[in-house]
Amino acid sequence: MEISIFLILVGFVLLIKGADLLVDGACNVSKRFHIPEIIIGLTVVSIGTSMPELFVSITSAIEGYPDMAVGNVLGSNACNLLLILGLSALIRPIKFKKETRLIEIPVCLLVTTIFLSIANMNNDISRGDGISLIIMFILFIIYTIVMGKNGENFDREDGEEIEQNKEVSGSIVKDIIYIIIRNYST
């Protein structure tokens, strides 16, 4: 019993340290390559932090517990949206850029509606449905990269100058290693 509690506490410490490394590395890579932080958050950080859910869901599906896989995905999304975003807003108000308000939030609502429709049509998510969901994910990543290159112009008001990212000191290799360590430590 004591060993289990100790291992849980060690896991939490490693998770917190891994999160620090992931955020530091991702922010430094973002600044170094002049990539908007929202793009890094929507790609590198979101995929990295979703790895535990991926492994739990795949393991659950393989072992014949599909409800756990679905519950994991839905619970994780509810926790991210309600708890994590809510706590973050308590600490510091979160401002949405124009692009986020007009594109990302409506797209997320559309994808949620599509998922709801898929899940309720035949009481299952087939391989074809899975392929459709993965294709939508790939399209979203492509969209994110395109907006990363053009998004600053979208968010800029008439006559407003684009704020230049400050130079970052340190090694790009170190920043990438931080991201990798966090992704593989979960």
Q: Residues of the chain with pLDDT > 70: what percent?
A: 80
Is this prediction's pTM over 0.75?
no
Closest CA to 33 of 158, 179, 175: 175
Beta-carbon contacts of residue 70 (< 8 Å; ≥ 6 apart): 119
pLDDT tens per residue, range 86-122: 999 999 998 887 878 888 888 888 888 888 888 788 8
Residue 100: per-residue pLDDT = 80
